[in-house]
């Protein structure tokens, strides 16, 4: 970007590109008072290309991408659940997460990513299942059978942030989003198993549907 602006300025000021310095909103020839506002360079780049004998590509947009070595966020999830042993129904009372995504650039987006990830994890833990019949046909082909969570199933989520800067990225940020999905199912299942501990029942299959919980409780009663 700097190079391109300097090149344009060099043309407009009839100076060598190496003598152009950019400062305080202008491009100037070092050691002189010859200067042109950067806004004018931008205008020239878009609207006055005839000035440059085809040596300047239109526009001043620059973009670059890079692929940092693996980064991941760390998080700790806690679910508080209520399990009704009569019906097997699980109600999430509250969800708490502390996570570390490195530098938080846009807090609103980071929070949104974590909320969404947790909701997907809760769906995974309690509701969403692709069921096949004995001959391999999918039985859960509609959203009336395959159940993503609604606003009713997702409890208030309390979020805490830690910011440990990452050395692996330019922005010192880490990835965020997946952490919500990965942590939530374990937290929910652990909470359910904790609630069912007095019945000596452990659920190790997701989703922990009322049917599965009741089946486990019935099996425990028979033992």
Partner 1 sequence: MSEKRDVVLNINGRDHAVRVEPRRTLADAIREDCGLTGTHIGCEHGVCGACTVLVEGAPVRSCLMFAVQAGGKPIRTVEGLASGDELSVLQRAFMEHHGLQCGFCTPGFLMLVTGVLEREPDIGDEELIDVLASNLCRCTGYQNIIKAVRAAAQELRAK
Residue (50 or 152) nearer to partner 1, CB: 152
User: Cα separation of 6 and 16, whole Å?
Assistant: 9
Residue (10 or 123) nearer to partner 1, CB: 123
For residue 106, the minimal CB distance to partner 1 (Å) is: 9
For residue 121, the minimal CB distance to partner 1 (Å) is: 9
For residue 113, the minimal CB distance to partner 1 (Å) is: 8
For 72, other C-beta atoms within 10 Å of its C-beta total 16
Residue (177 or 210) nearer to partner 1, CB: 177
Name the residues that contact partner 1, by CB under 8 A. Answer: 108-109, 111-120, 142-144, 148, 150-154, 156-157, 180
Residue (55 or 158) nearer to partner 1, CB: 158
For residue 153, the minimal CB distance to partner 1 (Å) is: 8
Do residues 124 and 184 make contact, with C-beta atoms less than 8 angstroms apart?
yes
């Amino acid at each position: 970007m700097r190079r391109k602006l300097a090149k344009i300025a060099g043309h407009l000021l009839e100076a060598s590109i190496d003598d152009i310095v950019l400062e305080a909103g202008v491009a100037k020839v070092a050691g002189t008072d010859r200067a042109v506002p950067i806004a004018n360079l931008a205008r020239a780049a878009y609207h006055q290309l005839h000035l440059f004998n085809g040596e300047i590509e239109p526009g001043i947009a620059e973009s670059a991408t890079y692929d940092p070595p693996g980064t991941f966020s760390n998080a700790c999830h806690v679910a508080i659940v209520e399990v009704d042993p009569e019906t097997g129904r699980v109600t999430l009372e509250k969800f708490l997460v502390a996570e570390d995504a490195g530098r938080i650039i846009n807090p609103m987006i980071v929070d949104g990513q974590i909320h969404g990830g947790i909701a997907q994890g809760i769906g995974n833990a309690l509701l969403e299942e692709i069921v096949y019949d004995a001959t391999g046909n999918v039985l859960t082909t509609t959203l009336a059978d395959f159940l993503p969570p609604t606003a009713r199933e997702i409890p208030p989520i309390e979020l805490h942030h830690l910011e440990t800067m990452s050395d692996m990225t330019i922005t010192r940020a880490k990835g965020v989003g997946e952490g919500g999905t990965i942590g939530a199912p374990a937290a929910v299942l652990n909470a359910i198993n904790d609630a069912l501990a007095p019945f000596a029942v452990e659920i190790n299959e997701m989703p922990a549907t009322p049917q599965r919980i009741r089946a486990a409780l019935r099996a425990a009663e028979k033992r």
